[in-house]
Structure 1
Amino acid sequence: MSHDLNTFNNPSAPPSDYQSYQLEQPDAYQSYPLSQAGGSSPQAAESPPQANNATGTDGWGDFSSLDGKEIRRVFVRNVYAILMIQLLVGFGIIALFHFTPSIRAFVRSSSGLWLYLALIIAFIVICITLVCCCQCASRQFPANLIIFGMGTLLMSYMMGMVSAFYETDSVLIAVGITAFVCLGVTIFSFQTKYDFTSCCGVLFVISIALLGFSIAVIFTRSHVVYTIYAGLGAVAFSIYLAVDTQLIMGGKRQEISGEDHIAAAYMLYTDIVNVFIFMLELLGKRQ
């Protein structure tokens, strides 16, 4: 009875037979001292490393790793190796047309002119195939090699036929100027920080102007208009060469995929051939 009265008078007092236990923290909840920087424990999650996209200083553009840069180097090396083969074929055909009288007489005849027009149509078809069906044509073997071979021969024949109407000295001068211009444009495109791939609007305007002058040359037959047309064409395709070089180099606003080495080499070869033809028309002396 006394036990019940004590409990009633002091409700917070535990009964006499109550065994007290000391509270202990579990081993898993050990406290860690806060760091001076503000406070995270040693087991806090670390932030993931950020990719380094700094612009390279050697003209190769933006790459997130050395592996990507090396892959692009191999791609560029393959493209220019293919381009050298194309240039050897092209200038070999020029030499054949100049130093073989029977071939030179044929390409200067009416039959040769009709063949030239047919080759222009075939060249346009190949360009449309490369642009519109690039994924399915220029990346598949052996379709890519067939397109590459046909395109190279067509462009080389066109270059050789145009040069057959000019004197040998004029052709050699045009070859030298073309080599100097293309080499300078290529080196400048590799080293400059200016992004030529963002100039698509300017290139479109220049192309429209070039088309307009070509129509004017057909109807007016004016030497002044023809000279302006040839000069504008040489400048236009020099800019195209700079754009295509940076597309191949990569790291700019737009770039060519590493799988399109055939299309990339064909683009560069087309630019060089057109620069040569316009230089020959601008500075050459007809026979």
Structure 2
Amino acid sequence: MSQDRNMCFSPNPSYKDNQSYPIQEPTGYIPHPLQPGGNNGQHKTSCEVPSVLPACPKLTKDDEQGGDQWGNFTGLERKKIRCAFIRKVYLILLIQLSITFGLIAICHFIPSIHEYVRSSHGKWLYFASYFVFFVTYFTLVWSKRAARMFPFNLILLAIVTLSMGYMMGMISAYYKIESVLIAVGITGFVCLGITLFSFQTKYDFTLCFGVLFVITLVVLALIVICIFTFSRIMFTIYAGLGAIVFSIFLAVDTQLIMGGKRHEISAEDYVFASLMLYMDIAQIFMLILSLFGIRK
């Protein structure tokens, strides 16, 4: 899944760009014969240097990130765009999480739906949701045009949220409600702490893609081992390592959205950014539930 994250973000060209504008120092001039000071139609032979040179404007931090004061794109404008982008992403994420945990609550507290999702018909609907989820998810990840085409991108994101919400609701229906609530609390605490840390730290997590790719391969290998061995110990190792990996992914994705690091997401990819955060939080919740949850 780490390769999917390279689709909609690019290196930040303004990262550590501390160059200033060169000062153009006039070395001299020869006035036109018809201009004042032209010495009655004869050219001056000596160079005249102005006593006061034009000062080179100093670049601010915002100018270094977004442009200069003569261009059409200023640092202040870039900062406003990034702040509006962050607000839009987290608003969409809040709606997604509300729908998802609402479906989880419905699967637990409504007896008829609780029995349905645990029946054979509910399992078939689970596999159908799994198929729909993968089709819409990879459409948003691999097609930049689909991820930016309004309102088609929001429709696909809604389908991803509903399908993922049903799958999480069905899986959580096999656990006690106390375990689900504990997993929700731990997930909220971990995600909030990682988000706040990613916003204020000077460490650039967007440079860790190579390490994350290797760790992701290890997690995938553990999944294969768990499928064929049915070992509880291996599954516990996979769940713990997977929760750590997706926590790091959450820190990376947060800094990609925040901007100002080596890599950042374009302001047009707000749907893709919301999808990344949503998948990180959903995976952290499911792995924590499998680690500490008690089955019925």
The normalised TM-score by structure 2 is: 0.78
The equivalent of 2:189 in structure 1 is 180
More displaced 10-residue stretch of structure 1: 263-272 or 107-116 = 107-116
| 1:81 alignment partner in structure 2 | 91
Q: Distance in 1 between matches of 2:157 and 2:82?
A: 21
Higher-Rg member (1/2): 1
CA distance in structure 1 between the partners assigned to 2:249 and 2:184 by the alignment: 18
Measured in 2, the distance between the counterparts of 1:28 and 1:117 equals 92
After TM superposition, the structure 1 = structure 2 runs for residues 1-287 of structure 1, keeping only pairs within 5 Å, are: 25-26=39-40, 40-41=49-50, 46=54, 49=57, 51-53=59-61, 62-64=65-67, 65-134=75-144, 136-287=145-296
Question: Structure 1 residues 156 and 29, CA, compared in 2 at 3 Å: closer, same or farther?
Answer: farther
Does structure 2 conserve the Cα–Cα contact (< 8 Å) formed by 1:233 and 1:278?
yes
Q: 1: CA distance between counterparts of 2:138 and 2:201?
A: 31
Over the residues paired in the alignment, what is the CA RMSD in angstroms? 2.5
Q: Matched residues, percent identical?
A: 52
- C-alpha distance in structure 1 between counterparts of 2:205 and 2:98, whole Å: 28
Equivalent residue letter for 1:121: F
Question: 2:280, 2:42 → 1: CA distance?
Answer: 71
One-letter code aligned to 2:60: N
Give SS of 2:156's match.
helix
Change (3 A) 1:28 1:208: farther
Give 1:66 deviation, angstroms: 1.9
Partners of 1:174 and 1:279 within 8 A in 2: yes
Tell whether the 8 Å contact from 2:62 to 2:76 is kept in structure 1 after alignment: no
Can you give the 5+ residue segments of structure 2 that lack an aligned partner in the other structure? 1-37, 68-74
Displacement of 1:138: 1.5
Paired residue for 1:19? none
8 Å contact from structure 2 (residues 88, 270) kept in 1:
yes
The total of aligned residue pairs comes to 252
CA contact (8 A) 1:33 1:41 kept: no
Classify the secondary structure of the residue corresponding to 1:247. helix
Identify if the C-alpha distance between structure 1 residues 41 and 29 changes in structure 2 by more than 3 Å, giving closer, same or farther.
farther
Q: CA, structure 1 residues 28+145, in 2 after alignment: closer, same or farther (shift >3 Å)?
A: farther
Could you tell me how far 1:28 is from its partner in structure 2?
A: 7.9
